[in-house]
Amino acid sequence: MIVPGVDGYMYPNEVELQWSLLIVLYPYITGLVAGAFILASLERVFKVEAVRPTYRLALLTALSFLLVAPLPLQLHLGHPERSLEMYLTPHTSSAMAMFGFVYLWYLLVVLLLEIWLEYRAEIVHMARTCTGWTRIIYKALTLGSDNISPASLRIDEKVGYAITVIGIPSAFLLHGYVGFIFGSVKANPWWSTPLMPIVFLFSAMVSGIAAVLVLYAASMKFRKVPIDMRCLDTIARYLFYTFLIDFTLEMMDLIHRTYEADESFRSLDFMVHTRLWGSHVILQLVLGTFIPLVLLAATQLWKFSEATRRGLYITASSLALIGIFAMRWNVVIGGQLFSKSFLGYTSYKMEFATREGLLPAILLLIMPFAILLVLVKLLPPWEKRAA
């Protein structure tokens, strides 16, 4: 009997994929969060002054995506109403059980607190000068703390610095942990590698830095303000370095698998050459890795005009964003296309207007931008301490 979409032999319960497009979104979104935050920390902790114009934008981008991060998981659960049980009765041996705690730590202790401290002086100023409902909003955002004396602001600065320092390992934890969720599944050779957390981490940094670069360039264009090229050059340089490390790690994984060629290799190799050819070889490797790396390398090796550099950076960043999305797709979906018997392959049938279909996925990807618009309106990231 021929099962539609199946080649060779799948265990009967394997034919249907269990983790869908929404689970592709989850590591993609958390990666953008971690990457954007790490870019922000360059200015705060490592004193890379050139990226200062993007500091606040990077923080707000991280928050916008972090607020959306749990939604694809919630939508995916068979019983979303029980998700609170992960907090109340976590099963400590589960790699997934810590998600809620890592998420809350990152949201409440790192991002919200850092953003609040960064903006506190302006929030207080707005609460004093605005009228009507905006005054109420800013008043609420002060959380009752309206002391903006120089001494108080110095404390804010110190605490903010400390939080960013804590934030860097937290960002590493957030995304390294997501990688561990996959990398620790010993039943799945496509996932099971100790490199997975670190590959996830560096790919997260690539996607987050690329996202902030594109958002910064787009927002400057929209505001008709000239782009700070020193800032863009610096971000692009960090993007290049991070991308190189990410590429090296992925190649290490590939070379190791190919050379070792264990039982699963033949099956996985066939999958990459057939069902994953488009998303893995074309999108992830060629379009999403080689081309942007070559473009970024070119900007480091030769001198180009500002307009050309801008074009190259934005093209490379956009391709990197597509490439990292393809990477998440290939990990999550690719990891379920082959049978654990190594004797067959199934297909992913993406639906459209269903709970786990394409439509909710598109909406979930648009949502962080809508949140970012509101946040930018409420807490303008353009001028530091304009008040």
Partner 1 sequence: MDPTRRDLFKIGGKLLVLASIGATLEQITGAEPAPDAYKMADHWWGMLIDIDKCIGCGNCVRACAQENGVPQGYYRTWVERYQVEEGKRPVVESPDGGMHGFAPLTREDVKSFFVPKLCNQCANSPCVQVCPVGATFVSPDGVVLVDPKYCLGCRYCVQACPYGCRYLHPGTQTVDKCSLCYHRITKGLTTACCENCPTFARQLVDFKNPKDPVHNFLRHNKVQVLKPYMATEAKVYYKDLDGAVR
Nearest to 327 by CA among 18, 10, 47, 27: 27
What the block records as the tokens of 50 is 């050139």
Instruction: Establish if 91 lies at the interface with partner 1 (CB under 8 A).
Output: yes
In the DSSP assignment, the letter for residue 80 is G
Minimum distance from residue 49 beta carbon to partner 1 (Å): 43
Q: Which of residues 334-363 bind partner 1 (CB under 8 A)?
A: 335-336, 339-344
* Site size for partner 1 (CB under 8 A): 42
Helix (H, G, I), strand (E, B) or coil at 30: helix
Please report whether residue 185 would count as binding partner 1 according to CB under 8 A.
Answer: yes
- Is residue 9 close enough to count as binding partner 1 by CB under 8 A? yes
The residue within the footprint of partner 1, chosen from 21, 63, 71, 86 (CB under 8 A), is 86
N- to C-terminal Cα separation, the chain: 72
Alpha-carbon distance of 60 to 50, in angstroms, equals: 18
- Which residue, 12, 108, 120, is CA-closest to 66? 108
Site for partner 1 contains 78 (CB under 8 A):
yes
Does 4 sit near partner 1 (CB under 8 A)?
A: no
Nearer to partner 1, 29 or 48 (CB): 29
**Whole-number Å distance between alpha carbons of 31 and 69:** 10
Q: How far is the CB of 188 from partner 1 (least distance, A)?
A: 6
**Smallest distance, partner 1 to C-beta of residue 84, A:** 10
Which residue, 6 or 367, is less far from partner 1 as judged by CB?
6
- C-beta closer to partner 1: residue 210 or 364: 364
By the rule CB under 8 A, 46 interacts with partner 1? no
Q: Considering only CA atoms, which of 114, 42, 369 is closest in space to residue 219?
A: 369
In angstroms, the CA 54 to CA 341 distance is: 49
Which span sits near partner 1 by CB under 8 A: 45-53, 231-239, 331-339, 366-374? 331-339
Q: 205, 35 in Cβ contact below 8 A?
A: yes
Q: Interacting stretch for partner 1, rule CB under 8 A, among 9-17, 41-49, 233-241, 289-297?
A: 9-17
How far is CA 333 from its chain centroid? Answer: 18
Q: Are 308 and 3 in contact (CB under 8 A)?
A: no
Binding mask 95-114 for partner 1 (x = CB under 8 A): xxx-x---------------
* Smallest distance from partner 1 to CB 266, Å: 9
Sign of the torsion angle spanned by Cα atoms 128, 164, 57, 360: negative
Residue choice 11, 46, 352, 369 for contact with partner 1 (CB under 8 A): 11
Q: What is the 3-state secondary structure (H, E, C) of 299-347?
A: HHHCCCCHHHHHHHHHHHHHHHHHHHHHHHHHHHCHHHHECCCCCEECC
In the complex with partner 1, the residue whose CB is nearer, 9 or 241, is 9
Nearer to partner 1 (CB atom), residue 8 or residue 380: 8
User: Which residues contact partner 1 by CB under 8 A?
Assistant: 1, 9-14, 16, 18-19, 73, 76-80, 82-83, 85-86, 89-91, 93-97, 99, 181, 185-188, 335-336, 339-344
